[in-house]
Amino acid sequence: MSNPEIGKTVACGPVETNYHDVGEGRPVLLLHGSGPGVSAWANWRLTLQALRDDFRLLAPDLAGFGYTRTPPDMVHTRQSWLDQIIAFMDAVGVEKASVVGNSFGGSMALALAIHHPDRVENLVLMGSVGVPFELTAGLDAVWGYEPSPDAMRAIMKIFAYDQSLVGDALVQMRYEASVRPGIQEAYSKMFPAPRQRWVEAMSHPEEQIRSIRQPTLLVHGRDDLVIPLSTSMTMLNWIEDSQLHVFGRCGHWTQIEHGEEFCRLVRDFLRARGGR
């Protein structure tokens, strides 16, 4: 049986990027989070299905994650990921896109809007990193993951408000993804302790975020144990053309725990701002 996490491959400089390209219409770039065993498909599988009739959806595995292949000596930084994203957009023929970023992917969406504003039409930031905050116990656990099924189950429970979502099949799938050759080696080098410094490294100066002019939808789970709601409140204050939707009974998995409502929000927001 084919692996749904594996899509197409395109060269982005030294990075052989695995990505999914579904649907037609105005392009929407989906940038995943940084959890162990994550891939674009694992993060966005419900979104890809729900919005494929409305937009062209492009979901790459960023370097160090999923099935993207990188040189063994590559050092992963915000700049190297941004370089990959720009090269990816060029390679798939997308001059400008609306960008949806989840958590770590939200910081990269912000980086794209700040440093390449001509490439970004609209922004959707979901449980986003990108402004300073005190490292949470949840994020410390996520970035400090050491592979075992029990450790993966604990991480999944941190992500989800609804604990019934953390079933054996999901835990096993994500655990197996986290121990594929080279994956944990790369992951453990990205955010080593002490981890507050990586929160700062993925943050952007206030004046740069205030410079963003793209219409921005902020989405956050009220009960998020990984990225505090205060980050989205800060961005709401700093981004002039922004709005915030908060889901109660929702952790860090808005696109899964409230998938239908999340996709409706994104669809309506992008349509209203010329995203179709």
Q: How many CB atoms are closer than 10 A to CB 200?
A: 11
Give the residue among 177, 123, 117 at the shortest CA–CA distance from 147. Answer: 177
Q: What distance in Å separates the CA atoms of residue 246 and residue 136, rounded to the nearest whole number?
A: 19
Catalytic-labelled residue, pool 54, 178, 224, 232: 224
Give the residue among 155, 134, 160, 125 at the shortest CA–CA distance from 143. Answer: 155
Active site (annotated) includes residue 2: no
The residues that bridge with 12 in the sheet, in sequence order, are 15
Active site (annotated) includes residue 252: yes
Asked if 6 contacts 34 with a C-beta cutoff of 8 angstroms, the reply is: no
In terms of Cβ atoms closer than 10 Å to its own Cβ (0-12, 13-18, 19+), residue 159 is: buried
Q: Where are the alpha helices (DSSP H) in 104-212?
A: 104-115, 137-143, 149-159, 168-178, 183-190, 196-201, 206-210
Give the residue among 94, 102, 100 at the shortest CA–CA distance from 113. Answer: 100
Catalytic-labelled residue, pool 103, 107, 128, 242: 103
Active site (annotated) includes residue 103: yes
Sign of CA dihedral 93, 7, 75, 158: positive
Catalytic-labelled residue, pool 32, 204, 220, 252: 252
Which of the residues are catalytic? 103, 224, 252
